Structure 1
Amino acid sequence: MPADFLQLAGKTVLVAGVANRKSVAWHIARLLTEADCRVLYSVRSPERREQVAKLVSNISGGNPDDVLVCDVEHEDQIERLADEVASRCEVLDGFVHSIAFADYEDGMKAFHETSKRAFLRTMDVSCYSLLAMSRALKERFARDASVVTISISTTRMASENYGYMAPIKAALDSSLAFLAKSFSADSEIRFNAVAAGLLKTSASAGIPGYVDSYLFAEQATLRHRAVSTEEVASTAVFLLSPRSAGINTQRVVVDAGMETNYFDADIVRRCVEGS
């Protein structure tokens, strides 16, 4: 196998959404850097930029000056990001959209009690931002660039503690086909998602009841071992590479087989005996 099997050396990828070293986006960025790929970063605030710049400076090949600020709730900042990317590279070979935010200012409520304000703000940040950022970066993308977003393994399971994020992730998933079709008029840019099972991240730690759901999900996998952030990142890196050129508008599920194992005999037995 060639040393550069993924053919990422010398390419440039923008990674949006790094929060800390536990972030999926950070694991993706680190793997890309190890593959001799130049990584540009987009983070939400100047404070986050300072934190992420420290992480970047500690990896070989990382450049803290390539950490840019863009709060996707503001269109002028998205346009500014596109200009800053253009000043740093002639061609952008890939874009990672790992941005998600849920407005729980009103607390956790039943889905039908979700406020319009909370729903629309969360949709703006977690879904519409993919469209807005892709549009702003369009002229910078290579003709065969790869865009990868981070989704969830299923949007059909009504997890109460995940609230209204699943319907918004469903909209994100649906956007892939429409973006790919729209961009296909004058390019071969691909749009795919890594649909991850439950992960241990800082963001997930803030979801009420998440730990219990995570422990259940771990037992429901076929291997009885949870999906790792590294496994999700590795799939994203593959989708960013030319080796995945034939994959477009797809959700690649990374859940260690959980969706096939809900009726695992041991789990069923424990539930029945405990009832």
Structure 2
Amino acid sequence: MDFLQLEGKTVLVFGVANRKSVAFHTGRVLAEAGATVVYVVRSPARQESVRKLVGEAPIYVCDVEHQEQIDKLRDDIAAAHPQLHGIVHSIAFADYSAGWLPFHETPRPAFLQAIDISCYSLIAICNAFREMLDKENGSVAAISISTTRMAAENYGYMAPVKAALDSSIAFLAKSFSQFSHVRFNAVCPGLLKTSASAGIPGYVDSYLYAEQATLRKQAVSTEEVANTVAFLMSPRSSGINAQGLVIDAGMSINYFDDGLIHREGS
């Protein structure tokens, strides 16, 4: 039974870096559900490495910092896939090359680049592809984080950047509602094991702590996030719009867990 009703639908997936990526797992779940998955990566080198993961699926190259590349991507994809039923935005970038800095010392260029790539790219992509999206059942999902209000020093300025992404979801949903029924939502996972997260200073310690804060004492898996994204791409989720779906295994209600408070050595 085709419960998700994704058979024959075409979904554009941005952001595969390797087999640990949320975008990779999402593409696999969508393909298993019968969807045609079209991948977009940021460079020819990435295209070559991702080819080994996704077989014959189409892979396009687009550096979202450049509007002309987004426009060319739209034209190239339109020639092969005139209608899209979904877009998955799993793109984020932060330049931590300066090392850990207090938030008030965030370098302006790093912050603005992170906003451009991690947030504004969603707006630019949706605007470019607006005529191709299924106006009745189209769906857009972006990958955010479970909370942007937890001031984790090592995550730094990326939390405000993700907050801007979350707000953009709401404004895109409102804006597109003037001419379509395209839905916009964010999937907001707790800490994950991804290659991108490995670049965050001190991430492993935060990940292990977050795992113990979940109700099940087991971290959220990338596959669980991908399953949620696939559901949002499906017409079965038609009543969900302008929302952020938190996937954190109950972590947000469990910070005062007795086991955490009385950990050995605390």
- Report the TM range for the smaller structure's normalisation: over 0.9
Secondary structure class of the residue paired with 1:21: coil
Distance in 1 between residues matched to 2:149 and 2:258, nearest whole Å: 23
Partner of 1:44: 42
* TM-score in terms of structure 1 length: 0.95
Distance in 2 between residues matched to 1:30 and 1:181, nearest whole Å: 30
Secondary structure class of the residue paired with 2:38: strand
Distance in 2 between residues matched to 1:265 and 1:137, nearest whole Å: 49
Distance in 2 between residues matched to 1:156 and 1:236, nearest whole Å: 23
* TM-score in terms of structure 2 length: 0.98
Partner of 2:194: 201
Q: 1:266 aligns with which of 256, 259, 263?
A: 259
Distance in 1 between residues matched to 2:114 and 2:103, nearest whole Å: 14
Partner of 1:18: 16
The answer to which structure has the higher helix fraction is 1
Query: What is the deviation of 1:116?
Result: 1.0
Query: What is the deviation of 1:227?
Result: 0.4
State the Cα deviation string for residues 48-107 of structure 1 (Å, max 9, x = none).
0001111111xxxxx24x100000011110001111110111210000000000022322
Secondary structure class of the residue paired with 2:18: coil
Partner of 1:182: 175
Partner of 2:238: 245
Query: What is the deviation of 1:44?
Result: 0.4
Distance in 2 between residues matched to 1:54 and 1:223, nearest whole Å: 35
Partner of 1:79: 71
Partner of 2:216: 223
Unaligned residue ranges in structure 1 (runs of 5+) = 58-62
Q: 2:7 aligns with which of 3, 6, 9?
A: 9
Distance in 2 between residues matched to 1:56 and 1:228, nearest whole Å: 20
Secondary structure class of the residue paired with 1:141: coil
Secondary structure class of the residue paired with 2:211: helix
Distance in 2 between residues matched to 1:184 and 1:254, nearest whole Å: 26
Query: What is the deviation of 1:139?
Result: 0.8
Secondary structure class of the residue paired with 2:117: helix
Q: Is the 2:96–2:200 Cα contact (8 Å) retained in structure 1?
A: no
Distance in 2 between residues matched to 1:115 and 1:212, nearest whole Å: 25
Would you say 1:27 and 2:25 are equivalent positions?
yes
Partner of 1:163: 156
CA RMSD, Structure 1 to Structure 2 (Å): 0.8
Would you say 1:173 and 2:146 are equivalent positions?
no
Match of 2:243, as an amino acid?
Answer: Q
Secondary structure class of the residue paired with 1:149: strand
Q: 2:126 aligns with which of 123, 128, 134?
A: 134
Distance in 2 between residues matched to 1:103 and 1:40, nearest whole Å: 28
Distance in 2 between residues matched to 1:22 and 1:146, nearest whole Å: 24
Q: Percent identity?
A: 66
What does residue range 109-124 of structure 1 map to in structure 2 within 5 Å? 109-124=101-116
* Larger mean Cα displacement after TM superposition, 40-49 or 80-89: 80-89
Secondary structure class of the residue paired with 1:92: coil
Secondary structure class of the residue paired with 1:247: coil
Distance in 1 between residues matched to 2:170 and 2:196, nearest whole Å: 27
Residues matched between the structures, number: 265
Query: What is the deviation of 1:274?
Result: 2.6
Match of 2:52, as an amino acid?
Answer: K
State the Cα deviation string for residues 85-142 of structure 1 (Å, max 9, x = none).
1011121000000000002232221100001111001000000000000000101101
Unaligned residue ranges in structure 2 (runs of 5+) = none
Distance in 2 between residues matched to 1:167 and 1:111, nearest whole Å: 10
Partner of 1:91: 83
Distance in 2 between residues matched to 1:88 and 1:37, nearest whole Å: 15
- Deviant stretches of 4+, over 3 Å: none
Secondary structure class of the residue paired with 1:132: helix
